[in-house]
């Protein structure tokens, strides 16, 4: 491949504040991903560059960021597939920014109930991993969702209204209803709340960026249809 320019939004509280773009030039191998490029920039050009990465094979969602204006996983996005000589990297929208491409995504969980069956215990990890996670013995994850936050970042409603439950949680509500029909009334009441499904503008951006095929927009439509059938309205 020819050399590329990687334009990264940099941010360090009180140091690079307000945020500013820095541009790095590199000549990647044909099979490099965006994450490969970030690794090379950090090692050879900018040691202070901040980003998240873990599994390197699209199963953890950690490396999600905005790539040329679209929410993607850096570890599975090939530089060659982007088709541009300048690649712009920014953090996900709608989450608190810590530094550079790193955001806090804990708000993804704020509307979820701990007893929902869609929250499943993660695989056993040793004490060192548990310590690094900062979440002790309560490590859980969504079914069919890698908690990347792409759907929330892409949602035009969340960008304007932080009270919106959001596509990830609405998808979880629909999944929970399927698995536990006895909870339907309670869950539909949550979905039909003023901050719930009714705020969705049907942009379908959440489904377009979902890297694991959860298709949140389908779940939101299913909730809307079920709410109408049952007469469960705000």
SS3 letters across 20-40:
EEEEEEECCCCCCEHHHHHHH
- Could you check whether the bond before residue 18 is cis, i.e. omega within 30 degrees of 0? yes
Q: pLDDT per residue over 138-173, tens digit each?
A: 444 445 788 899 999 999 999 999 899 999 999 999
pLDDT at residue 90 tops 90: yes
Q: pLDDT per residue over 54-66, tens digit each?
A: 998 888 899 999 9
Contact between 173 and 223 under an 8 Å Cβ cutoff? The reply is yes
DSSP string computed for 195-225:
TSGGG-----HHHHH-TT---HHHHHHHHHH
CB neighbours of 62 closer than 8 A, spacing ≥ 6? Answer: 52, 53, 54, 55, 148
Residue where the block lists tokens 């804990």: 106
pTM (two decimals):
0.85
Contact between 56 and 75 under an 8 Å Cβ cutoff? The reply is yes
Of 150 and 116, the one with more pLDDT:
150
Contact between 40 and 26 under an 8 Å Cβ cutoff? The reply is yes
According to DSSP, the residues that pair with 159 across neighbouring strands are none
Percentage of residues of the chain with pLDDT beyond 90: 67
Going along the chain from its start, the domains and CATH numbers come out as 4-104 (3.10.20.30), 106-230 (1.10.1060.10)
Residue 116 tokens read as: 């929902």
Distance of alpha carbon 232 from alpha carbon 184, whole angstroms: 10
Q: pLDDT per residue over 184-221, tens digit each?
A: 998 999 999 999 999 999 999 999 999 999 999 999 99
Contact between 210 and 219 under an 8 Å Cβ cutoff? The reply is no
Contact between 63 and 74 under an 8 Å Cβ cutoff? The reply is yes
Show the DSSP H helices in the chain as ranges: 34-44, 79-82, 127-133, 150-154, 156-160, 167-179, 184-191, 205-209, 216-230
Q: Which of 15-24, 102-111, 170-179, 181-190 has the highest mean pLDDT?
A: 15-24
Q: Count CA atoms closer than 13 A to 120's CA, side-chain side.
A: 13
């Amino acid at each position: 491949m020819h050399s590329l320019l990687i334009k990264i939004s940099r941010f360090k509280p009180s140091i690079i504040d307000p945020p500013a773009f820095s541009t790095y030039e590199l000549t990647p191998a044909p099979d490099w991903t965006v994450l490969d490029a970030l690794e090379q920039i950090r090692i050879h050009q900018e040691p202070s560059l901040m980003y998240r990465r873990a599994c390197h094979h699209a199963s953890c969602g950690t490396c999600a960021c905005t790539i040329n204006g679209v929410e993607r996983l850096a570890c599975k996005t090939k530089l060659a597939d982007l088709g541009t000589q300048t690649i712009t990297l920014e953090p996900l929208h709608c989450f608190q920014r810590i530094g550079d491409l790193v955001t806090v995504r804990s708000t993804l969980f704020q509307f979820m109930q701990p007893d929902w069956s869609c929250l499943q215990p993660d695989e056993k990890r040793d004490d060192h991993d548990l310590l690094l996670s900062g979440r002790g013995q309560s490590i859980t994850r969504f079914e069919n969702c890698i908690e990347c936050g792409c759907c929330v970042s892409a949602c035009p409603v969340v960008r304007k209204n932080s009270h919106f439950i959001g596509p990830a949680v609405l998808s979880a509500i629909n999944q929970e209803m399927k698995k536990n029909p006895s909870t339907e009334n309670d869950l539909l009441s949550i979905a039909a709340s003023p901050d719930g499904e009714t705020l969705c503008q049907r942009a379908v951006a959440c489904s377009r960026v979902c890297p694991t095929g959860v298709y949140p927009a389908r779940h939101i439509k299913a909730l809307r249809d079920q709410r109408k059938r049952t007469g469960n309205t705000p």
